[in-house]
A and B are shown apart, each in its own frame.
Chain A
């Protein structure tokens, strides 16, 4: 099994990673060898084995529905790359790059 360049590019887009041509070239054989290595898991007979998602024997945790202190607006925004009028400022989903001048 071997991933094509197009498949690596598709995977990168799903992962929201803009890889350069050089990066695609170097990561492709690495992904191939990692995936071939982990593929040995398919040898295992897991009929009737329940998937194990956690090492704990616990169910969902419940708590009282009460107000607890959270982050204040200023704290939440403190590390933001761009902000405007107390909100996170991000580029538009569609259209051209234009940012509101603050």
Chain B
């Protein structure tokens, strides 16, 4: 029941379950899984049951109900919630209570969703394994010795563990798609500007985007419908009408659609055979559904990761300068008198508070960004990366003049073991090899479950579309899921 939002809605409308019963079951499962999975940084049974009771009350009174009425939803801990702490999985924001809700959280409440808690993540969304969290690692429900991916690792693990049918993640360089792939669930990164970023704690503002995570395309279409749309408090929010995302799921006939296969990505060093095979077999599935498949390449794709790892840390170093221990967040309890003397008490407070509050990866990225923006280096690094970004965007524009969608892998590998890459930042960055392109270009992309490898780990494929063509991703995703049962596979201990 907790693996389908549509099922949860059906059960309530038939009178077979109440929102309170569903919420209680979700919270029970979360609490039972925290010890083994640790997907949440905060769970609030009381608030969830109150929200559920309000939904049941509305239903009893015959009042109109929102599209997510009584559906338990988890929220990544980078999105502001005024009634729960918002920590970004950092000691810097331990106990921080935002004075307002993020727009997407407001929209969840307006949709009558039941928010059950906040999910664990890499600190400030910087990482690909959820190991940089200050609140402990999250484990993959398919194999608890492995990472769920990151940075939205809690958001995908909580769905894969069967605790909630839907969750909200964020994606700056693949942070929805890669963990969705590692956890065998479906995750979508919308077009930059499609979903408001108001109340999303900023990491890299020109790349960040909020998106839905669930088992099926039908479910994430439902959640996307609720969160998409114009919102003036985010100056980059697009003032454009939101299409009906359910309407495109009616047909699975892909005739007339042309899909470009990013064949080069499969030959990159370090791509698992099983990952390659999953993409290759999906080509046949799409072709059988009627799509025309052609090979295509994006010439500057080898520059995606270096471009990303200049732009994202540069923006991060600027965005995270707000954590100074003055207005909110961690402040050093005891100043080092020598430093207070040499730097002055205020600057010493900044330096020591930030040193204590931030973890190693966040510090590293702030340092890289500071370097890339510093006098004498900005042209060589930051400005050059901005120019490379335009070339990368140009490749996509050229590709989409020939095809409707792009098909390729999500990540080079399946879920790796906890501890495998945490000491080698560059190896961790290369997890983003196939995902950062969509963020740099601002286009939407989806990660779809594509089977299980010999080790029992989920495989995934990625589709990318032109700006605002989420409809196309959902349509093709639904067609794929109509032909396959990969999104119906569950980890062994799922039902427990």
Is the Cβ of A34 less than 8 Å from the Cβ of B387?
Answer: no
Q: Which residues of A contact B426 (CB under 8 A)?
A: 33-34, 37
Tell me if B389 counts as interface (CB < 8 A to partner A): yes
Tell me if B374 counts as interface (CB < 8 A to partner A): yes
Q: Which residues of B contact A35 (CB under 8 A)?
A: 368, 371
Is the Cβ of A34 less than 8 Å from the Cβ of B309?
Answer: yes
A41-B310, A80-B328 known; A51 vs B390 contact (CB < 8 Å): yes
- Docked CA distance A39–B307 (Å): 9
Is the Cβ of B235 less than 8 Å from the Cβ of A49?
Answer: no
- Docked CA distance A88–B351 (Å): 18
Min distance, Cβ B338 to any Cβ of chain A, angstroms: 11
Interface residues on chain A, number (Cβ under 8 Å): 55
Most buried by A among B324, B351, B364, B387: B387
Interface residues of A in 13-66 (CB under 8 A from B): 13-20, 23, 26-27, 30-31, 33-35, 37-42, 44, 46, 49-56, 58, 61, 63
Tell me if B198 counts as interface (CB < 8 A to partner A): no
* Nearest B residue to A74, CB-CB: B99
Min distance, Cβ A38 to any Cβ of chain B, angstroms: 4
Tell me if A86 counts as interface (CB < 8 A to partner B): no
- Docked CA distance A82–B383 (Å): 39
- Docked CA distance A54–B204 (Å): 11
* Nearest A residue to B234, CB-CB: A61
Tell me if B350 counts as interface (CB < 8 A to partner A): yes
Residues of B within 8 A of A (CB): 96-97, 99-100, 192-193, 206, 232, 235-236, 238, 300, 303, 305-307, 309-310, 317, 321, 324-331, 335-337, 339-341, 344-352, 354-355, 358, 360, 363-364, 366-368, 370-372, 374, 380-381, 383-391, 393, 425-426, 429, 440-443, 467
Residues of A within 8 A of B (CB): 8, 11-20, 23, 26-27, 30-31, 33-35, 37-42, 44, 46, 49-56, 58, 61, 63, 71, 75-76, 78-82, 88, 90-97
